[in-house]
Structures are given as C-alpha cells and as structure tokens.
Amino acid sequence: MGKGYCDQSIFILNILEIINQSCSRAYVIDSYDVCHGRLGHVNYSYVMKLRRLGLINMYDKQSNKYDICVKSKITKKACHSIERLTKLLGLIHTDLPYLKQTMFRGGKNYFVILVEDYSRNTKVYLIKHKVGAFMCF
C-alpha cells in the first residue's frame, strides 16, 4: 500500500511508493456519517448490512444526528375532514401563480386556476398581467 494525505477534500498519494510496491488497488475507509449521507440517509441497519456484504468500507458507528433524519421521523397530524358543497358554483377555489421558472411562455407571465368545489371542474387561463385575472373569473 501507499501513503498519502488529504488536501482540500482531495487525497494525494505518493505515486513512486505505490509503483515500487506494485500495488494494483486502493480504497478509502469512510465513516458511518459519510456512508449514511451518500446512501440518501438510509437507516442504520441497512448501512450495517451493506458493510457486512463488503459493499462499503466503514470504520465507526453513528455519531451525528442529521436534522433531515429527525424531521423525517415526525408523523403528520391528521387533517380534518372537509364538507364539500352540495350545489354547483357554491364555492370556487382560485390561485394566481407567477410563471418565473418557465422559459417558453409566449409573453404570458401569470396563469389563473379556477376549481369549482362541487364538481371539481378545473380551468386554467394564461394571462399577461394580473389585472386580467378578474376577466377569467
């Protein structure tokens, strides 16, 4: 094997030492936290199973609790059931989003969404200015 050092997250190896020993392979042993993050924050038992199968090289147990892992284990509270209206055009839900991320919008900067509560009938209109929203309604 050869010797090396880490410089700004890059491992620098002494090539002459590796050539003289005829080394054909090398690998890096990571910590549990690195493996856990690279695998998409999977649970501890899954990481240990991959280690037992020899698919990952790891040297220590879990040391950090990632904020995203803690938040993902929090259960959501149940939503209250909503009573839908029993007559047509009794309630209309609407939204007026801005098309800031869309490249091909043909000069239209906004779109109006109208959803009728009873029938769930939905209409979408593309408009240039916000003032045109009332005419869509």
**pLDDT (tens digit per residue) in 48-58:** 888 888 787 77
Confidence of residue 114 (pLDDT cuts 50, 70, 90): very high
Q: Are residues 17 and 43 in the same domain?
A: no
Domain-embedded: residue 4: yes
Q: Are residues 42 and 23 in the same domain?
A: no
Q: Are residues 113 and 97 in the same domain?
A: yes
Domain-embedded: residue 37: yes
Q: For 22-43, what is each residue's pLDDT tens digit? A: 555 555 667 777 777 778 778 8
User: 111 lies in which domain range?
Assistant: 92-136
Q: Are residues 17 and 4 in the same domain?
A: yes
From first CA to last CA, the distance across the chain in angstroms is 73
User: Position of tokens 């929203």?
Assistant: 133
Task: Pick the range with the lowest mean pLDDT from 2-6, 75-79, 96-100, 131-135.
Answer: 2-6
| pTM reported for the whole predicted model | 0.41
Q: Are residues 49 and 21 in the same domain?
A: no
Laid out side by side, the sheet with 122-127 consists of 92-95, 110-116, 122-127
Q: Are residues 21 and 36 in the same domain?
A: no
Query: Looking at the predicted structure, is the pLDDT value of residue 121 above 80?
Result: yes
Q: What is the mean predicted confidence (pLDDT) over 89-108?
A: 80
Q: Are residues 100 and 124 in the same domain?
A: yes
Domain-embedded: residue 85: no
Q: What total of structural domains would you count in the chain?
A: 3
Calculate the alpha carbon distances from 1 to 14, 17, 24, 43, 51 in Å: 10, 8, 9, 33, 22
Q: For position 22, what pLDDT does the model report?
A: 56
